[in-house]
Structure 1
């Protein structure tokens, strides 16, 4: 019998339980709701051993960042999804740097929340037999790179970029057919148009350049961030990240 994903949520309001809990349970998860209090949440994490924790960023006594730091280094640390109705570039960097796997800004659809929980949980499985010890799945590597660069996780371009990079790693030739193959492939997966995919990716790159850490950007893109050179094009961005990942995979094999 397949083990159900255990999800602990730092929220027990009637509205949340009516709108979001049923969607999570219908997606095959066991849901435990607790008081919206950081100290109480910590106690529940220790007693319930959840697979995933959905925690509010701002909670009484201890915020979401404090909860994650208190869990750091312990055995069986759960996957953290941090929820908030307010964000800023500095807050997102601190949240992701403190151990969150995802930062979700409300309002969000109940089915979208359930989908994100399943996606993030699926990206953090135990190492497969035969895999290099400590080697992270490709999806997680791409996700971490996008977070480091400063692409916010709640915009559409983030998801389009992630999928585009994964395609380019697995099928390198697709980078030579961005308009004819890559954008249409991503658009089909998200039930949108290639032109919207292109615009959303461009917006995501612009946001990263406006808010990102210059040292991190330099490390990934070098000369392309020079003032006279400007931001990389969509295809340059995807090609540079995918090439870097392929080289890493080759050296690790």
Structure 2
């Protein structure tokens, strides 16, 4: 096993997988056009074992308070796996399986597995979190940075959420569900039928981000990129909506990006 970059191809689609850079997708090129913002912080990184912000970096495990480093003061953000090394378990021309061992500062041992599968018209990202021992709360999500512009008009977003999580001054959901507001956004939305968000670069490409999960964060406050982040729970979800990883039941999630030229 190694952590060298992996290139997957299918038709005129090409994906770069970077185990040594937090297990992120470094690039997605379709017909030679790069869809993801480039740079070591960008591409599409896995958010695991939590998504978005944890209030003041603290969450409860039963009666035990766990403290995570405040890497986005006053909060902890986006998990630990994007800062750690991943290893390649196996690869083929169009699929890669990479793994990451959970370690300090995360207090529970466990393994994250990500499977990246490329087809001519779609990219499937599947992730699981398993425990070796004790049960623990966790979340899974993905944080893609789609280029706002591919050389033509700016991307347009189309989605129909059932609600928007009201965002407090601390950037965290207040617990109130409100009618979706117009952007710009750094907000979490509920889609109980599953995440379904379409990005359209007029005259060029239409790409749909889909998932069975019902939570998506949309961030489009940056000039260069737009983020559409499917995840297994809302920000601060380790406190408000914990999903337990147990020895008999891992936490699993999948997102599928499909595209067509227009």
What is the TM-score normalised by the length of structure 1?
A: 0.24
* Between structures 1 and 2, the one with greater strand share: 2
What is the TM-score normalised by the length of structure 2?
A: 0.23
* Between structures 1 and 2, the one with greater helix share: 1
Larger radius of gyration: 1
